[in-house]
Amino acid sequence: MAQIYISVGTNHNREHHIRMAVKELQQFFTDLQLSSVYESEAVGFKGDAFYNMVIGANTSLSVADCVAVFKAIEDRHGRVRGGEKFCGRTLDLDLLTYDQVICQQPVELPRGEITENAFVLWPLAEIAPTVLHPVLAVSYQQLWQQYQKQQKIWPVPFQF
């Protein structure tokens, strides 16, 4: 079984899509660990604020199969493909890490957004504080403590 971490984000009907993401991911993955839900301003474009979280899980699926599951879930929830890179999303599921795998295909692992975006790093550090980043060999908690970028993000009360 591989340990994976998944970034979840939405800025359309946020509470509904966060709940649906968790519900659907439970059908494909085991031992889900849920971070808190965080609200953040849109990054890279002007738009409604996002809800974000990170989910840890175990899987026997391959990297490619995990990505295929995420795309199918996104599509079921109205994800529009082929548009602008930075835009609103009904549901965005990204594989952040797959054990300690480092690769570029079928997706970049570990995902570069881990160290770039507070809305990924903070919830990841919350549920996996002692896990080491596969490339940097530094824990996610240490990376969060060293994070320097100014992004507006705050935890929100959320009931699943």
- Write out pLDDT tens, residues 48-93: 899 999 999 999 999 999 999 999 999 888 766 565 555 457 899 9
Region 149-160: mean pLDDT is: 91
Positive/negative CA dihedral, 57, 146, 118, 133: negative
The Cα–Cα gap between 145 and 107 comes to 27
pLDDT of residue 38: 97
We report the CATH number of the domain holding residue 18 as 3.30.70.560
Number of domains comprising the chain: 1
Structural domain containing residue 100: 2-156
Those residues whose C-beta lies under 8 Å from the C-beta of residue 124, and which sit 6 or more positions away, are 5, 7, 35, 54, 96, 114, 140, 144
The Cα–Cα gap between 13 and 110 comes to 29
- Whole-model pTM? 0.93
